[in-house]
Structure 1
Amino acid sequence: MPNQLTENPLFNCYGQPRFGHFATPITQLNIDSFAYFNLMDKPASALAKYLHFKQFQFISISHANWQIGIAIADIRYATTAFCYFYDRNSKTLDEVSLLKPLSLGVVMSASPVSGTASVRGKQQIRITPTGYNWQLSLKGELLTGELQLQGGVAPQPLALCTPTGYNGWTYTQKHNALRLQGELKYRGQALDLSSALAGYDFSAGYMRRETSWRWGSISAQLPQGCFGLNLANGVNETGTTENCLWLNGKKQLLAPININFNRQLPQQTWQFSSSDQQVNLQFTPQHCRQERLNFGLLASNFRQYCGVFCGEIQLENGEKLYLDQTPGLAEDHFARW
């Protein structure tokens, strides 16, 4: 697949989104083209059409000794953003978080393959998708640098859109186990990126008023090569799922996943198992990046865990991948927006 993109709109001639997996990413999320109706099939107001749209972008960078997470989430009423650096050896997490009421001063991209998302504050974040590559610019006391997440020679990102609730939709685009090019400093200290791998998440749409999900993610080196994994339940599950893996750049879709853990005892092991028994993983949390916001009509209970995965995954060709203390992320999130 060449590293060039042809026009691939999300909406059809009736203003309705196309659903399913896409071989190439959607090139434009022009919500002005979306024919949005309320629950009684009446055209939604312009204000509802604006306020009900949500979008977030997330980048993870994984190294044997550390983990970085970077996010911008725009829910219209406000934008939250964060950057963190997790040291696997000392099991300590250093972070900066931002809250922008009414999303003032925040820019979000209308496309997962072009444009820019940015937020300013004590940590400046700028994310610029460029075709299959993502550019990341950071400036602040915590993290400073210019990076490119490289899609590779024959990029195979996950790209899908599913119905959400009665009248909504969610578009998700992800790609894990990407090589990095550039420079990055953590509190003035240069980081070695030669063996680091990265992943990105672009998700947007008209999600449920109350939304929740569980999620697991890996970008790591295995004996078989560069390995990426994305497992989730709670959002993209109507007709298809966003579960997939990448091995040396080749994507393989996976069956629906059960993700089980005890929210009151979050340090206990999580279980990830697929409906076809091809995925059987255990995740052990080591540290949690947590944020609870409760404003009544708006609320968020967010927990993202750095930890390690163990277990096995069977590939399409019958080969098994064995994970043993493989670094990764898991997440539990409730949002009322």
Structure 2
Amino acid sequence: MSPDLKPAPDTVVLDGRPAHGRYAGRIARMDWSALDPRPGWLWRRLHHKRWHYVGLGNAAVFIGVAIVDVGWASSAFAYLFDRESRRLLADWRQDGLPGLQAHVGDAPLAGAHAWFRGPGARLSLRHEAGDRLHLNVTTSALRVKAELDLAAMAPPLLAIGPIAGGLAHATQKTSALPVRGWAEAGGRSFDLDTAWAAVDASNGLLARDTAWRWASAHRPGIGFNLQQGYFGGQENVLWLDGQPIALGAAQFDFDATRPLSPWRVATDDGLLDLVFTPEGARDADKHLGFAASRYVQPIGCFNGMVNGKAVTDLLGVTEDHRSRW
């Protein structure tokens, strides 16, 4: 374990205050109810945001699935990117009512339960016996049944930190998880038994306007998570040979008007310096008057230097995201 990452605490709130820091290990729940003073009901309804995201891929495909509860609304998306043809075979999304059509629980891994139900759509991520997460997606465009194995995973990152314009945020992120399962899209079937997955479980009291750049890539022996934006460098971490290492501030050098051109992603401590070459992307723009979001998530490979050693063809994603929520 990195000396910069302490063992994860039992709770995100200690003595009435957020337990700010970067940690290694699981936390049972991300529950803000012990805050003192506790924000009022209306403020919490407008600012409490929770989501579960799973990204998984192999030589043939990359799949991204998210279930999101923003307090006053919910949404979900699921896509499948065919790496051979370099196009999206499925790109589904839907909005819904929180509590009625969607739920994102406070448990990030053990005990995790997130679901979305809408017209023609059923999505769920649920922890079940054997320390496995079961991912199920049924939509008109995409079907996924996958099992993610938590039993032998590297210690996950837990990051807790302050939020300008909000209050606090917590996120639990894993590196490469073995996958068993299958997916169907565009009249084709894909075997996922050679895929590797990463889980992002996030829960925070955030600002109305939130923006970030993000990068995530994983395979056995190496993985990383980087963010530049609303959460500072709190969630920047590198996994090497099963051990998490805290990283410095991340820099993203890219052309926002041409997200399929190469990106350079580096950290100011010199431990990571990579070029990301996109193969394709998922993007979405929503404008609801009182709320809006702009999102692009390119899929591709990272090449460069990590901890003084060359890394080639590391599959992952970058992201440029702005939300008024």
* TM above 0.5: yes
Whole-angstrom CA distance in 1 between matches of 2:44 and 2:60: 44
Whole-angstrom CA distance in 1 between matches of 2:216 and 2:72: 28
| Gap change, CA 1:268 and 1:21, over 3 Å in 2 | same
Deviation at 1:321, TM superposition (A): 3.3
**Residue pair 1:211, 1:336 contacting (<8 A) in 2 also:** yes
**Residue pair 2:21, 2:159 contacting (<8 A) in 1 also:** yes
* Matching residue within 84, 87, 90 for 2:82: 87
* Matching residue within 26, 46, 55 for 1:51: 46
| Gap change, CA 1:192 and 1:167, over 3 Å in 2 | closer
* Matching residue within 297, 303, 307 for 1:310: 303
Find the counterpart in structure 1 of residue 69 from structure 2: 74
**Residue pair 1:177, 1:246 contacting (<8 A) in 2 also:** no
Whole-angstrom CA distance in 1 between matches of 2:198 and 2:225: 10
Find the counterpart in structure 1 of residue 4 from structure 2: none
For structure 2, which runs of at least 5 residues remain unmatched after alignment?
A: 2-6
Find the counterpart in structure 1 of residue 139 from structure 2: 140
Secondary structure, aligned partner of 2:42? helix
Is 1:106 paired with 2:107? no
TM-score, normalized by length of structure 2?
A: 0.88
- Alpha-carbon RMSD: 2.5
> How many residue pairs were aligned?
316
Whole-angstrom CA distance in 2 between matches of 1:7 and 1:134: 22
Find the counterpart in structure 2 of residue 8 from structure 1: 10
Find the counterpart in structure 2 of residue 180 from structure 1: 179
Whole-angstrom CA distance in 2 between matches of 1:256 and 1:7: 23
Is 1:247 paired with 2:249? no
Find the counterpart in structure 1 of residue 310 from structure 2: 321
Find the counterpart in structure 1 of residue 323 from structure 2: 335
* Matching residue within 55, 59, 62 for 1:64: 59
* Matching residue within 270, 281, 284 for 2:277: 284
For structure 1, which runs of at least 5 residues remain unmatched after alignment?
A: 38-43
* CA offsets 1:172-211 (integer angstroms, 9 cap, x no match): 1111211013444446654222321111101110112211
Deviation at 1:103, TM superposition (A): 5.9
Is 1:161 paired with 2:160? yes
AA partner of residue 320 (structure 1): K
AA partner of residue 198 (structure 2): G
* Matching residue within 115, 118, 135 for 2:115: 118
Whole-angstrom CA distance in 1 between matches of 2:60 and 2:153: 29
| Gap change, CA 1:273 and 1:154, over 3 Å in 2 | closer
Percent sequence identity is 28
**Residue pair 2:301, 2:316 contacting (<8 A) in 1 also:** yes
* CA offsets 1:85-126 (integer angstroms, 9 cap, x no match): 101111110211111145642111122131411001333110
Whole-angstrom CA distance in 2 between matches of 1:56 and 1:253: 23
| Gap change, CA 1:36 and 1:289, over 3 Å in 2 | farther
Deviation at 1:7, TM superposition (A): 8.4
